[in-house]
Structure 1
Amino acid sequence: MTRLTRADLDALPAYVPGRNVADLARELGIAEAVKLASNEVPFGPLPGVAEAIAEAVTQSHRYPDMGVLALRAKLAERLGVDPGRIVTGGGSVALAEHLAKATCLPGDEILYSWRSFEAYPIIATGVGASSIRVPNTPEHGHDLRAMADAVTDRTRLAIVCNPNNPTGTSVRRDELDRFLDAVPDDTLVVLDEAYREFVTDDEVPDGLATYGDRPNVVILRTLSKAWGLAGLRVGYLVAQPAVAAAIRKVLTPFSTSMVAQAAALAALDAEPEVVRRCAVVIAERDRVTAELRKLGADVPTSQANFVWLPLADRSAAFAAACEKRGVIVRPFQGDGVRVTIGTPEENDTFLEAAGEAL
């Protein structure tokens, strides 16, 4: 039979989403399962978002503003940058794909820590680039010294996920300074800050404020997490104007939908509520971490809205045990389990399941 797709994709693992809550509840015969697998916030849409969506839907027979001018202007004002430096897209993961398209040709290299965000190897393979994976430190974080040593003249993108997904660990200013100074000017460094709003460590730098003036640095962020728009897919990046213009050339036309633009504009008006919700998540993150450590789990300190249990080959068994108690978590086979921070009640349910599983 004639092959119609690329042979190298056979070895590429598919992206794994969190399991469906309704399916598990039905299997267990319970009213509702708890989903702590996808790093969502549990509080529902921000004030004003549902109303903005309802109004935008009345114009859904029209194409959205392809330039996303209103949203880019609002983000620019909030961030203190020129709108020409901002690119929006279908979540930060879609923008990472566009970054790869704008920088890599087959045979080029994309460098990242591992384990990190599971979409990175998919993105690299999608553009025919080689994945250069640098193992995490024993503390489950980026080894930036080893990453700098791994840069070659073929490295087009170097991605630093800060805080890191799925381990929650973070890179501090001094080590990131040294890394950026070591990377050549023709390698684009992507600071993936999808969880920036949950950072409380003052030594973890705001990438835009600290490094946004560097020509070869791109800041990648999302409104899916703290801003509660995971189901609408809105992300943005900030780059130097020439880099941003090149990325816009490879964007899927109209990829930020009319509804997503309206929802994002409304969400940005609700920043005080975002701050309040993040404070709740942070307090729960610290409580869950402390309780898991009492159970003997070697949980690293997280700066995101999830925690990491480095359970190695016990990961699948732990996740299965939690599911039997109606709690969906995210196992990474052979490495560990990521658990999203939910409401206090959801976290209590998880901790009871974890107590049994551990």
Structure 2
Amino acid sequence: MTPTTTTAVNSAATTGADGTSGTGLDVHAHSASFFDVSRRFGRQRPVVDFCIPTNSYFPTPEVFERLRADLPTLLKYYPDDSSGTSRELARLLGLNPQTVAMANGSTELITWIDHLLVEESLAVPVPTFGRWTDQPLETGKRVDMFPLREETGFTLDVDAYVAFVRERGSRVAVVCQPNNPDGGYVHRERIVRMLDEFADLDLVVVDESFLDFVDAEPECSVVREAALRPNVIVLRSLGKNFGLHGVRFGYMVANPALTERVSRALPKWNLNSLAEAVVGLLSDHLGEYRASLRRTAADRDDMVQRLQQVPGLTVFPTTANFVLVKVPPGCDGRALRDHLVQQHGVYVRDCGNKLGLTSDFLRLVVRPAQDVDRLLDGLRDHLGARSATTA
């Protein structure tokens, strides 16, 4: 495996003089604001979001109604500090409160993990969530990138990754489980074996931000392993799982010494009142939440099957609530993205600014069948017109 090391980020996206793409979407951002996209392209009909990986079935209308009723109080008064909300979350999860720390989204935790615990080098498979490469690069660390191969469906070979880390001498190793943007999942037993192999590293991070959507085996998480090991952190994202990205709340699980070190660096009131309220509601709505995961899994299987019927489209295996696809040869992924949002009101994520991918790859969030109908209409419209032009 050819090692890749870099200290700079190159954007694969094409921008205009104002830093925007042909549709006016800000390609420098993680993804354009859905509010902004709706304002620009939703005049004829509502835009369907296949870009932001939300949960289509949670929160339920009842949860939103409870939050709406409490909104004046939530906005008027200070929230509890994050330690109180962390204790409540730990109680719900059945974890020792000393092993849990909450933050303003998993990105805040990634930032502090980099500042506090990454001294010189970090290894990470690519493509993956961009903050795992961008954050350490921004602070001058060496980032050793282990390339995941398209021809193997971007599957992570754990043994090859361990050998890569040893060859490069990386002191921190990261794995996203499942991986973003392809949804690839490594069975828990292999992840635990990797943790054993990396027992001498400064740190190992398993980013489980989308793991609740995985139903590949009865027990998928390694949070209980993290609580007992001296050099392991697991990240989870409540915002992604619960379909509340705007609330911004994630948490980490680690042994008490690591958790305390990160917690001391976090701002005192880094969680807002909505995050505190949602954690307080969880115990009353866990049944609905679990049902939402089952419905999402059924939608995923149906959506993958339907996408596989689109001529020329490559659909990669996934266990998450999103699907990675590659457009047919000769098709411009950016042009397809623009056509979908402009002509069909379908907002998708092209992967041109993800290291290890190009704009020929699109990440499509799992959505209910009626929304997939509109996506497929747009795909067939553009791909059929392109085929007719080149015939």
TM bucket (normalised to shorter chain) is 0.7 to 0.9
Distance 1:127 1:57, change over 3 A: farther
User: Counterparts of 1:64-143 in structure 2 under 5 Å?
Assistant: 64-69=79-84, 71-105=85-119, 108-137=120-149, 138-143=152-157
Q: Which residue, 299, 315, 318 being the options, matches 1:299?
A: 315
String of CA shifts for 1:296-321, please: whole Å, max 9, x gaps: 43322211111110348743233223
Deviates more, 1:314-323 or 1:236-245: 314-323
CA displacement at 1:156 relative to structure 2: 4.0
**Distance in 1 of aligned mates of 2:303 and 2:109:** 32
The reply on whether 1:351 has 2:376 as its aligned counterpart is: yes
The reply on whether 1:330 has 2:349 as its aligned counterpart is: yes
Aligned to 1:5: none
Distance 1:178 1:44, change over 3 A: closer
What count of residue pairs does the alignment treat as equivalent? 348
CA RMSD of aligned residues (A): 2.7
Aligned to 2:268: 253
1:345 aligned counterpart, secondary structure = helix
CA displacement at 1:228 relative to structure 2: 2.4
Aligned to 1:309: 325
Contact preservation (8 Å) 1:15, 1:119: no
Deviates more, 1:311-320 or 1:273-282: 311-320
Deviates more, 1:58-67 or 1:244-253: 58-67
**Distance in 1 of aligned mates of 2:92 and 2:42:** 46
Contact preservation (8 Å) 2:308, 2:315: yes
Aligned to 2:208: 193
Aligned to 2:50: 36
Aligned to 2:248: 233
**Distance in 1 of aligned mates of 2:118 and 2:138:** 10
Unaligned runs of 5+ in 2: 1-6, 12-26, 353-357, 384-391
Contact preservation (8 Å) 2:58, 2:242: no
Aligned to 2:365: 340
Distance 1:252 1:189, change over 3 A: same
String of CA shifts for 1:197-251, please: whole Å, max 9, x gaps: 1111118732224554322221111111231221111111110000000001221
Distance 1:60 1:192, change over 3 A: same
Aligned identity (percent) is: 25
Unaligned runs of 5+ in 1: 1-7
2:241 aligned counterpart, secondary structure = coil
Aligned to 1:319: 337
Distance 1:247 1:298, change over 3 A: same
**Distance in 2 of aligned mates of 1:128 and 1:268:** 42
CA displacement at 1:44 relative to structure 2: 5.8
Aligned to 1:160: 175
CA displacement at 1:18 relative to structure 2: 3.7
2:251 aligned counterpart, secondary structure = strand
**Distance in 1 of aligned mates of 2:95 and 2:37:** 45
Aligned to 1:51: 66
**Distance in 2 of aligned mates of 1:141 and 1:280:** 25
Aligned to 2:30: 16
**Distance in 2 of aligned mates of 1:110 and 1:24:** 38
**Distance in 1 of aligned mates of 2:64 and 2:222:** 27
1:39 aligned counterpart, secondary structure = coil
Query: What TM-score do the two structures reach when normalised by structure 1?
Result: 0.87
Distance 1:267 1:295, change over 3 A: same
2:180 aligned counterpart, secondary structure = coil
**Distance in 2 of aligned mates of 1:209 and 1:181:** 14
**Distance in 1 of aligned mates of 2:277 and 2:43:** 39
Instruction: Tell me the amino acid that sits aligned with residue 141 of structure 2.
Output: A
**Distance in 1 of aligned mates of 2:97 and 2:219:** 26
CA displacement at 1:56 relative to structure 2: 5.9
Deviates more, 1:317-326 or 1:42-51: 42-51
Contact preservation (8 Å) 1:98, 1:247: yes
